[in-house]
Structure 1
Amino acid sequence: MHTIIGTWKMSYPALQEANALLAAGAPADEAVVEAIVRVEDNPNYTSVGYGGLPNRDGHVTLDAAFMDGRTLRCGAVICVEDVRNPIRAARLLCGRPENCVLAGRGAEQFARHAGLPMRDMRTEAGMRRWRERVSGLETPLDAYRGHDTVCVLAVDGSGRMAAGTSTSGLFMKEAGRVGDTPLIGSGFYCDMRYGAAAATGMGEDIMRGCLSYEIVSQMRRGASPQDACEEAVRMLAEHMQGLGETGDNISVIALSPDGRCGAATTLATFPFAVGRPASTTLYAAYGDRSPVRAVAPDEVEGEC
């Protein structure tokens, strides 16, 4: 039985289409990539792909990663501009035994040589928001604490698993800034023997706990996806709080080889979508550890 899970409300319509692909026999890697492409192409989402908000210099720079749960190979592109679908570049790089993680100009050259579509990823709305932010500043720029990386995990009917992530990062981030999204073990991890996990939130915090690898490691030791998510988030958040920090921008999802799902968050509410053979459903996890429950799309504020 196939299952696909994605972060945030913005993944819900994308997972409906990807779920249909899996039902028709598509492999997990195709479903993951196509779901993320759908999100990357939507200009209404300001933290992923086309429509992503600029950095301090007014450039939209993108990160994406892909991992094959059978081979444990991964591919990633970091700080790329003008690549329409960074997840497609990451998927192609995943097939390489070396040079599988590329950054900046090298990643852009790879995408062009591979024949991937290129475009100016800046939108009028995004640049208007950037200009308003810059012109109104009297104090040093602070990064917008956005929390909206799209992460998708899938297991197909043959048991193959894949994971993908994509983001434009924090609004007004420093040039060259990299968060957890393209970093194996932090933003994502996938091993079809044990499961897959992905994280979204403040990347600088998530990296400190290698959060996605920690979740899969707990699943390897027998934890359910839900228990692994809750325990990994709890441990990292409590450690940060012990240091006088909040750890309040962390959310995770997980998927087991048999299709069980998990999610946890330090936010008040974290929406995520799950697709199974019968349907695609939007759920919410809660920072107070209330039980995860199904929600209607109109119960979740905003488009993301």
Structure 2
Amino acid sequence: MKRRKFIQNASLSSLGVVAGASVIGCKENKEATSTLASEEVTSNTIVKPLVIATWNVNNATAKAWEALQQGKSALDAVEQGCRVEEADPKNQSVGYGGLPDRDGRVTLDACIMNKDGDYGAVVCMQNIMHPVSVARKVMEDTPHVLLAEVGAEEFAVSQGFEKTNLLTEASKKAWEEWKKTSLYKPIINIENHDTIGMLAIDKNGDISGACTTSGLAYKMAGRIGDSPIIGSGLFIDNEVGGATATGLGEAVLKTVGSFLIVELMRNGMSPQKACEEAIGRIIKKNPNYEDFQIGYIAVNKKGETGSYSIHEGFWVTKYVNDKNTNTASEFYNKK
């Protein structure tokens, strides 16, 4: 399974506050065409149901599609789809088997949003395999929207979630090997870290989304990225559409990228152009953009989809019209 994997630089000080200019304004892009963009439906057509997710996660999108075919909501679909990756020990960046922080602790972040704009999240949670489901419980069964660390774990246990040692033998060995050098060096699409972000439209045309991750491999204890943060890792507006992010969380947080994409779609941009604009704003203010990867996916109310990344190697999985397909995303940095 081909995945984007990279390590964060020891210093992120060069990542500035992002503003201005589209991708096309940053660099000539005439030779590229987006497979996803070319598959967008016409403006008069509504596609439903639909599932789209970051990376090559066919099993996850298949599970979400199954839920939609059973008449379940988009919210049910994204939760069930994300749980597939959370339970897979071979995926060392999500849930069980996720790579730990520099102290050997596996901490998980996740969020979920429904058609009404309700949001729930957990951050830095240990010992619970399915943070996306705990995030939904936070959203639906508490007066809060975000729980952290021990509080999140205790809440999960109170809701019937079982404690699990999330550090598998494979991830432990990888961590022990990393400790020999403790080196932070970005290797685009190679380092063991990626996020699953998923968006879905159900039979009623309602949109929901979820995002789940074990975060940056060997991160500082307590580090939180964009994935569980509303407007950064995920944003849904049922009147407009939704977007979700993957990549270096610090850069996504500084741009509130998913919210930006939804607002651009609100103002008439297609999902594809909105993703390109969001990446363009990051590139313009970050001369070191070659050192890190960010990818976005988006869907609008009509079922049109888009994706864009800084570098080659970002893949998207989409399930629509009974077809579950992986597509290489269009990207900016063409050498």
TM > 0.5 between the two?
yes
- Normalization by structure 1: what TM-score? 0.89
- Aligned partner of 1:94 in structure 2 is 139
Deviation string for 1:201-241 (max 9, x for gaps)?
00011111100000000010011111111111112212222
Quick one: percent identity of the two aligned structures?
36
Which amino acid is 1:253 matched to?
A: I
Which amino acid is 1:270 matched to?
A: F
Q: After the TM superposition, which segments of 4 or more aligned residues of structure 1 sit over 6 Å from their partners? A: none
Distance 1:12 1:197, change over 3 A: same
Distance 1:147 1:55, change over 3 A: closer
- Aligned partner of 1:105 in structure 2 is 150
- Aligned partner of 1:62 in structure 2 is 108
Deviation string for 1:247-294 (max 9, x for gaps)?
74110000112211110001212111111132111111132489xxxx
For residues 1-304 of structure 1, the aligned pairs below 5 Å read: 1-9=48-56, 11-69=57-115, 71-96=116-141, 98-134=143-179, 136-137=180-181, 141-142=183-184, 146-241=192-287, 245-246=289-290, 248-288=292-332
SS in 1 for 2:52: strand
Is the 2:235–2:243 contact (alpha carbons within 8 Å) kept by the matching residues of 1? yes
Separation in 2 of the partners of 1:147 and 1:259?
A: 29
Identify, as 1 or 2, the structure richer in strand. Answer: 1
Is the 1:49–1:62 contact (alpha carbons within 8 Å) kept by the matching residues of 2? yes
Is the 2:227–2:234 contact (alpha carbons within 8 Å) kept by the matching residues of 1? yes
Which amino acid is 2:119 matched to?
A: C
Separation in 2 of the partners of 1:259 and 1:105?
A: 39
SS in 2 for 1:95: helix
Separation in 1 of the partners of 2:192 and 2:306?
A: 22
Separation in 2 of the partners of 1:261 and 1:126?
A: 34
Which amino acid is 2:196 matched to?
A: V
- Aligned partner of 1:294 in structure 2 is none
Q: Which runs of no fewer than 5 residues in structure 1 stay unpaired?
A: 291-304
Separation in 1 of the partners of 2:260 and 2:80?
A: 27
Q: Displacement of 1:5 after TM fit?
A: 0.5
Distance 1:18 1:245, change over 3 A: closer
Bigger shift: residues 280-289 or 171-180: 280-289
SS in 2 for 1:76: strand
Separation in 2 of the partners of 1:236 and 1:154?
A: 26
SS in 1 for 2:123: strand
Distance 1:89 1:126, change over 3 A: same
Q: Displacement of 1:23 after TM fit?
A: 1.9
Is the 1:147–1:249 contact (alpha carbons within 8 Å) kept by the matching residues of 2? no
Deviation string for 1:15-69 (max 9, x for gaps)?
1121122122111011100100000000000110011001111000000000113
Which amino acid is 1:142 matched to?
A: Y
Separation in 1 of the partners of 2:75 and 2:324?
A: 18
Separation in 2 of the partners of 1:44 and 1:37?
A: 14
Separation in 1 of the partners of 2:305 and 2:284?
A: 23
Which amino acid is 2:98 matched to?
A: G
Taking CA–CA contacts closer than 8 Å with sequence separation of 6 or more, which of the two structures ends up with the larger relative contact order? 2
Deviation string for 1:62-93 (max 9, x for gaps)?
00000113x21100000011001000000111
Which amino acid is 1:220 matched to?
A: R
RMSD: 1.7
